[in-house]
């Protein structure tokens, strides 16, 4: 996801390669990023952080404690910290970094192709100009949604953050089902993927709620009705609710709640 942000920033002209510094512990990774994007690379987090007015934390949650220890009290008061670390609460970042200008965001994987969704919030100390810049960075990867309460970040994690995996699983299952009834796998994949894309765009452009669209395509006694009956028997909607609730509770536990 860190590379997705870097790519989006450069593609949208929000910064130049010479103005960006990237820190990574992996030498091969540093060489790759330097070669592909022309940015300055280093293994020193402190050095990278002091070179910019926005510090983006795109690290694994298990590395957060060590990184915060490195950067604690090292950031300038005017610098903005933008974190995309799953489960890392704003208060944890405040205390661990000894820094108050913090934005917490939850993007999702389609951000890698500019079709992502990022839900984000900010501390009270973050200026309007900093909010605009944070929104521009997240918006470069797709749609960005600002929320006033941090509680919505964990909820978004369970819905949009983890959501692509739910979608991929359904697509995978639908392709397998199509193959089971006799379709060649390449044809099945093409049919399913295009059906998913078209249906998503139809929801977006029609302005109608999904329930109404489902009713429109479901003829009484027809094939769609028969298929939906099986999904209802399997408690499909209830399983989705259970999955989202489980992801939400996990996000809260990652944040120490």
pLDDT (tens digit, 9 = 90+) per residue, 48-76? 998 889 999 999 888 999 999 999 999 99
Phi-psi region of 73 (alpha: psi -120 to 50; beta: other; left: phi over 0): left
**How confident is residue 257, by pLDDT bands cut at 50, 70 and 90?**
low
pLDDT (tens digit, 9 = 90+) per residue, 84-133? 998 899 999 999 999 999 999 999 999 999 999 999 999 999 999 999 99
CA–CA separation, 201 vs 226, rounded Å?
25
- Answer whether residue 256 shows pLDDT above 80: no
Comparing CA positions, the residue from 216, 236, 113, 217 lying closest to residue 170 is 236
User: What pTM value is reported for the model?
Assistant: 0.88
Taking residue 102's Cβ as centre, other Cβ atoms within 10 Å add up to 24
Taking residue 146's Cβ as centre, other Cβ atoms within 10 Å add up to 16
Domains delineated in the chain: 2-149 (3.40.50.720), 163-254 (1.10.3730.10)
For the chain, the first-to-last Cα distance in angstroms comes to 25
pLDDT (tens digit, 9 = 90+) per residue, 1-46? 899 999 999 999 999 999 999 999 999 999 999 999 999 999 999 9
CA–CA separation, 8 vs 14, rounded Å?
8
CA–CA separation, 114 vs 6, rounded Å?
12
pLDDT (tens digit, 9 = 90+) per residue, 181-240? 999 999 999 999 999 999 999 999 999 999 999 999 999 999 999 999 999 999 999 999
Q: Does residue 88 contact residue 255 with C-beta atoms inside 8 Å?
A: yes
């Amino acid at each position: 996801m860190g590379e997705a942000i870097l790519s989006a920033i450069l593609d949208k002209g929000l910064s130049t390669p010479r103005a960006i510094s990237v820190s990574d512990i992996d030498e091969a990774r540093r060489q790759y990023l330097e070669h592909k994007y022309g940015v300055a690379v280093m293994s020193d987090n402190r050095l990278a952080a002091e070179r910019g007015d926005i510090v983006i934390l795109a690290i694994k949650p298990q590395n957060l404690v060590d990184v915060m220890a490195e950067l604690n009290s090292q950031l300038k008061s005017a610098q903005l910290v933008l974190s995309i670390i799953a489960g890392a609460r704003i208060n944890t970042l405040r205390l661990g970094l000894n820094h108050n200008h913090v934005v917490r965001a939850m993007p999702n994987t389609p951000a890698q192709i500019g079709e992502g969704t990022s839900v984000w919030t900010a501390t009270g100390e973050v200026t309007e100009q900093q909010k605009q810049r944070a929104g521009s960075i997240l918006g470069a990867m797709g749609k960005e949604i600002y929320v006033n309460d941090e509680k919505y970040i964990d909820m978004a994690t369970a819905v949009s953050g983890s959501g692509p995996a739910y979608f991929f699983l359904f697509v995978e299952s639908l392709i397998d089902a199509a193959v089971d009834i006799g379709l060649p796998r390449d044809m099945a994949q093409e049919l399913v993927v295009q059906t998913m894309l078209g249906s998503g765009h139809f929801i977006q452009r029609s302005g109608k709620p999904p329930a109404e669209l489902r009713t429109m395509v479901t003829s009484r006694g027809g094939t769609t009705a028969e298929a939906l009956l099986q999904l209802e028997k399997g408690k499909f909607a209830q399983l989705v609710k259970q999955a989202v609730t489980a992801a939400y509770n996990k996000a809260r536990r990652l944040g120490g709640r």
